[in-house]
Amino acid sequence: MLSVKNLHATVDGKEILRGIDLEVKPGEVHAIMGPNGSGKSTLASVLAGNEKFTVTDGSVEFLGRDLLSLSIEERARLGLFLGFQYPVEIPGVTMANFMKQAVNEQRLFRGEEPLTAAEFLRMMRERSAVVELDPKLTARAVNEGFSGGEKKKNEIFQMAMLAPRLAILDETDSGLDIDALRIVATGVTKLHTAENATVVITHYQRLLDYIVPDVVHVLYKGRIIHTGDKTLALKLEKEGYDWLINDCRE
């Protein structure tokens, strides 16, 4: 589904990604861990198509397409979803209006009819239940005045609305209390199928108690320095990254 080969990227002339290789298959859950500043969020942004970053080498194939040749919105319409670490507030634009345009734009891309108002409202009601999001929030401006927990729930709500093939969740667990973490993580699990895949970027093992990964990667200084199964996350929680980083220096 996603095949990243030797991906290099820079921001303001500084190289952040220095040769990433990553293979994600349908039905898989990958976790990407690593110390601060290792390039985790940059990887998410580059895959999503954020123009702030420049890809200097390597290739990315997504569902058989050359991902790097596509704009942000083309990638989204193909089924790539980014859960933002810091969801953006958009004053004056209601969640309902925003989601209606997004859902229908993606349907149009797939050659499907736009949803009727009734279909759309029912869909919003059903999907907001996935993350126990107060349906009243959909009448409010996007993320405006939302609490930290509501913002993250709202990311997963949007994921539920758009039903992406690949969801990249960038530190969706940061700033969540234990109840909100459970709700958000359970929501992600509910949305998981054999046809879609999830890449979870996180600092903490605790998220992976709920979203159990098939593969765990450690990113350090712009490279994946170690890959293992779910037990790797537990080991990292206990022992930190030093043993891997020391290895890497040798």
Partner 1 sequence: MEAFLDTIRRFRAVDGRRLTVAQSEATPFAAVDPGQLRVEVAAGASAQLAVVHTAAGAASLEIDLAEGARLALTEVFLAEAFAEVRVRQAAGSAFALVVVQTTSANGSWTVGLEGRDASCEADCLFLAAADEHCVVRLRTDHRVADCRSRSLVKGAAAGRAVGEFHGLVYVAPDAQRTDARQQSRNIVLGDAARIVAEPQLEIYADDVKCSHGATVGQIDDEAILYMRQRGLSEAQARRLRLEGFAGDVVSRCGIEPLREALDALVAAKLELF
Stretches 15-23, 73-81, 117-125, 184-192: which one binds partner 1 (CB under 8 A)? 73-81
| Closest by CA position to 39, among listed 65, 66, 20 | 20
CB nearer to partner 1: pick between 18 and 75: 75
Figure out which of the listed residues 109, 120, 204, 241 binds partner 1, where binding follows CB under 8 A: 109
Q: Which residue has the tokens 């980083």?
A: 245
The sign one gets for the Cα dihedral 206, 210, 211, 212 is: positive
Count interface residues toward partner 1 (CB under 8 A): 30
3-state helix, strand, coil in the chain (%, to 5): 40, 30, 30
Figure out which of the listed residues 55, 72, 129, 248 binds partner 1, where binding follows CB under 8 A: 72
β-partners of residue 11 are 14
Figure out which of the listed residues 73, 126, 195, 247 binds partner 1, where binding follows CB under 8 A: 73
Figure out which of the listed residues 77, 152, 223, 226 binds partner 1, where binding follows CB under 8 A: 77
DSSP for residue 178: H
Query: What are the distances in angstroms from CA 235 to CA 1, 56, 63, 206, 232?
Result: 28, 34, 33, 12, 5
Figure out which of the listed residues 3, 50, 59, 227 binds partner 1, where binding follows CB under 8 A: 50
Rounded Cα distance, 156 and 86, in Å: 13
Task: Give the footprint of partner 1 on residues 114-143 (CB under 8 A).
Answer: 141-142
Rounded Cα distance, 59 and 72, in Å: 16
CB nearer to partner 1: pick between 104 and 174: 104
Figure out which of the listed residues 6, 56, 101, 147 binds partner 1, where binding follows CB under 8 A: 101
**Shortest approach of partner 1 to residue 84 CB, angstroms?**
7
Figure out which of the listed residues 58, 87, 149, 213 binds partner 1, where binding follows CB under 8 A: 87
Write the CB contacts of 221 (distance below 8 Å, at least 6 apart in sequence). 18, 38, 39
Rounded Cα distance, 226 and 126, in Å: 39
Figure out which of the listed residues 4, 32, 43, 48 binds partner 1, where binding follows CB under 8 A: 48
**Shortest approach of partner 1 to residue 80 CB, angstroms?**
9
When asked if residue 21 is in the footprint of partner 1 (CB under 8 A), the reply is no
For the record, the structure tokens of 100 come out as 């209606």
Stretches 9-17, 85-93, 118-126, 176-184: which one binds partner 1 (CB under 8 A)? 85-93
**Shortest approach of partner 1 to residue 103 CB, angstroms?**
8
